[in-house]
A and B are shown apart, each in its own frame.
Chain A
Amino acid sequence: MSLPWKHAIVVGASSGIGEALARRLAKDGCRVAMVARRKDSLDRLADELNSAAGSTIAFTAAHDVANRGEVPFLFQELAKELGGLDAIFYAAGVMPTVAVDEYNTEKDAMMMEVNTIGAMAWLNQAAVRFERTKRGTIVGISSIAGDRGRRGSPAYGTSKAALNAFLESLRNRLARFGVKVVTIKPGFIDTEMTQGLPGLFWLISADRAAELIIAAARAGRNVAYIPGRWRIVGMVVRAIPSFLFRRLSI
C-alpha cells in the first residue's frame, strides 16, 4: 500500500526500530533521510536502499543527538536533500544496563539527552515547520516503560515518561494545524537494546514493529502500543495502586 508520505526523516536509523522504519519507508517509495551516530552503518544501509530502488532515495547524516546545536541546520539540509518533508520518526534511544542499587547520574543524564532532549531538539524543528505549513506527521518512539516509575531503570522510564508528555503537548499544540503527532509505546522488540535482557516475552522483530508503527502513524493514532496487546498490559500497570506497585519486581 502506498504511503501518505513522500519524504521522511528517521532519527536513530542505524539499527533496531529506526533501521527497520527506514527500510520499510524506502521500500514503499518514500525518500528517506537517515540520521545516526554510526556513519558506516548508515552509508551501508543507504547504498542498499538506493540500489534496490534504482535511484537515490536514501540520504544520510552522521549526528549524535546529544549535539543538539547541530539540529536546526541538519534538519533544514535534510529537508532540502529530500526535496520536502512530510514525516519525522524519532527512534533514537539508549537503555544502558543499570543495576538495581545503582544511582549513576552520568548514565541518567545520557538517557535524558538521547531519549528526551534529543527528541525535543529534532521534533521542535519539525513542529515549527509543520505548524507553518499546516501538514505533517511526527512520530516519537517512546516505550511502555514510560507508563510507570519502575525499580529497574528509573531514568529510562523517566526519559520515556517525559517524552510521552512532550509528544502529548505537541499533539495538543499542533492538532489545530492539521499536524498528527503519534506516540508509539513498544513492548519488547528484538533489537540490540533488548539483547540479553531477562524475562522477555511477546517479543517481535524490529521489522514487524516498524510495520505496525507505520500503520499506526498512517491511521493518525494518538498513542499506539506495539504490538496492540501491550495496551492491556499498559492499562493494568497504570491501574495498579502505588502501594502494590512498589512491591512488584517489575
Chain B
Amino acid sequence: MGIEGNYILPSQNLELVEGWGMSSDAVAYVFRPSTLQGIRDVFEIARTSGRSIAFRGAGRSYGDAALNSENVVLDLTRFSRILDWNPDTGIIRVESGVTIRQLWEYILPDGWWPPVVPGTMFPTLGGCASMNIHGKNNFRVGPIGDHITEFEILLPTGELRRCSRQENPDLFYAAIGGFGMLGCFITLTIRMKKVYSGLMEVEPINTPSLDAMIRIFEERMERADYLVGWIDGVASGKNLGRGVIHEANYLKPGDDPNPAQTLRLDYQQLPDTILGLLPKSILWRFMRPFVNNAGVRFVNLAKFLSSRILDRGGKKFRQSHAAFAFLLDYVPNWKRSYGVGGLIQYQSFIPEAHAAGAFKEQLTLAQRAGFPPYLAVFKRHRRDDFLMTHGVDGYSLALDFRITKKNRRAIWALAAKLDQVVLNAGGRFYFAKDSTLSAPSVKQYLGESAVRKFRKLKEACDPDGILETNLYRRLFQSPEAADAEPVEHAR
C-alpha cells in the first residue's frame, strides 16, 4: 500500500450510521452540506480521498440503502429550503433535504396535501424520489415520481442537469427510483393535491381472511382514495391473512363545516401522550415485553377481535390527514421495542392474479419457520413507468421480522425462500425496504434489459463509479457479494 499523495479524511466526520431497522449499520465519513457548493465540495473530497459517496436523507430506508462502509456519506438533511410555492397551482419547488413533514406543514394551511406520502413524515423528498416511494393510495395515484414534474440532479461529472418528462426523459425515469446511484437530487418540483378539509373520512372493515381482504380491495379500489390492510401475521389455518382494512377518502367541498379550523397545523399534530397522561416517547418500553411470538399473538388477537366488535356495520369516522397518513409516527421510536438487533421489513409486490396464493405461501413459510411477522401491512398498487420500479398491478405485503444475534441467519434463509415465491409469481421488490436480496434475484425481477439500461446510464452519469452504497455493492457489483452471508456487526 502506498502512502504518497495521501488524503486523510477528518476523523470528526466519522460516524456510525444505521439503517432505520437497526439491523445493519456502517462506519462512514458523514458530511452535511447545506449548499450546492458544499455538495460539490463533498464530491471533491470523495474523489481526492479515493472514496465512494452514498447519499442519505433522513435515513429511513430499513436496510443498507443509505449506508456506505468506510466511505463517504453525503447527508442532505441540512439542504432543506423550500424554494418556491404557488398556492394557486399547487406546484412546489424544494431542495432535496426537505422532509415530508416540512412539506405538508407548509402547504396544508393553503388547502393542499402531498399527493403521495409514506407511513412516516420524516423522510426527505430526495430520499422519497430516490426510492420512488408509494403511499396507501398507490393504486389510485401511483408513486411520488408520478407527481414530480421536474428535478435538477448533480452528476458526479459535476454537471447540474435538469430533467423532466420532456427534458432528459431517460434520466428522469431512471433517477426517480434509481436509489441515488445516478446523481444527487438538488431540487425537486412536485405537484400537490388540493384538499378541502384537514380531515379524511375513514372506514375500518374487518376481514376474516386474505381472500376476503383482496375481494374488498378489488371492490373498493375504483372509488376509494386510500386503502390499507393490517394483517394478523400470526393467525393460521382458516384465519390465515385475517385483518382489518382502512379505507379513507378526502372530503369534498362543503363536507367539512369548518375547514379553516381543520386545515390548521395544530389540528393535525399527533398527540404527545396517551390518554393525556403517558408520554408516547416512553411507550416503546411498554411494548417491548410483547415483541415476541406469544406477545404478538395476544396483541394481534385483541386487535382483531376488538375490530370485529367495534367496526361492525360500516361505522365511519373522521381523522386528520396526519393521523391517518403517518401511522408509523404514532409511537416514537417504536422500533426500539424490537431490541438491539432491530428489525427488517420484507416487502414484496405480486401481480394481482397470483397475490393471494403467493402471500398465503409467504405467511405459511414464515410461521412454519417459527418467525411469524410481527407486523404485516397489505396494499394495492399499480404499474408505473420508472426504470427500476417496484410497482405492479397487484398487491404488496410488508412483513416485519425481529432480528436477533441468534435468528439472523435463519431469517436470511427464510427471506431467500420468500424471494423464490415472489420470483415464481412474477413479483418485484423495493430497495427502500431491502436487507436480504441477492444479485441474481434482482436481475431476475428487474429483467436483464432494465439492468443493462440502468448500468449504461450509470456509466454515462457516473463514469468513475463514485456513487455506491452497501446495497449497491451487495446487489449490483460483484457476484461474490451477491452470494455473501449477511454481515453481522460486532455490538
Contacts and interface: CB of A to CB of B under 8 A. Distances in A.
Interface stretch (B5-13, B166-174, B450-458): B5-13
Contacts of A81: 1
A84 B11 contact: no
Given A4-B490, A6-B488, A73-B8, A132 B69 contact: no
Contacts of B71: 80
A230 to B, nearest CB: 29
B70 A83 contact: yes
A contact residues, range? 20 to 34
Interface in A61-93: 61-62, 70, 72-74, 76-87
A132 B15 contact: yes
A194 to B, nearest CB: 30
A218 B489 CA distance: 15
A187 to B, nearest CB: 29
Contact of A72 (B8, B70, B489): B8
Interface string B4-28: 0011110110111000000000110
Contact of A135 (B51, B488, B490): B490
B1 A132 contact: no
Q: Kindly state the interface size class of chain B when it binds its partner.
A: 20 to 34
Among A5, A59, A72, A134, max chain B CB count under 10 A is at: A72
A51 to B, nearest CB: 16
Nearest to A61: B1
Interface string B432-471: 0000000000000000000000000000000000000000
B16 A132 contact: yes
A83 B487 CA distance: 11
A80 B1 contact: no
Contacts of A87: 490
Nearest to A132: B14
A129 B27 contact: yes
Contact of A133 (B1, B16, B51, B487): B16
B49 to A, nearest CB: 8
Given A80-B70, A80-B71, A62 B1 contact: yes
A217 B469 CA distance: 32
B406 interface: no
A237 interface: no
A76 B8 contact: yes
Contacts of B15: 132-133
A79 B70 CA distance: 7
A175 interface: no
Contacts of A129: 11, 14, 27
Contacts of B1: 59-62, 74, 77-78, 81
Given A72-B8, A128-B11, A129-B11, A84 B26 contact: yes
B3 interface: yes
Given A60-B1, A133-B27, A73 B6 contact: yes
Contacts of A83: 69-70
Nearest to B52: A80
A104 interface: no
Given A55-B480, A133-B27, A84 B69 contact: yes
A5 B51 CA distance: 24
A6 B11 contact: no
B238 interface: no
B491 interface: yes
A109 B14 CA distance: 34
B60 to A, nearest CB: 21
Interface in B402-433: none
Contacts of B26: 84
Interface in B51-89: 51, 69-71
B342 to A, nearest CB: 15
Contacts of B51: 80
A77 B6 CA distance: 10
B241 to A, nearest CB: 38
Interface centre among B9, B12, B480, B490, by most chain A C-beta atoms within 10 angstroms, is B490
15 contacts: A59-B1, A60-B1, A61-B1, A72-B8, A73-B6, A74-B1, A74-B3, A76-B9, A77-B3, A80-B71, A83-B70, A87-B490, A125-B11, A132-B16, A135-B16
The 9 closest A-B pairs by CB, nearest first: A73-B6, A133-B16, A80-B70, A86-B490, A61-B1, A128-B11, A132-B14, A72-B8, A133-B27
Given A77-B3, A83-B70, 12 more contacts: A6-B490, A59-B1, A72-B8, A77-B1, A79-B70, A80-B70, A82-B70, A85-B27, A86-B490, A132-B16, A133-B27, A135-B16
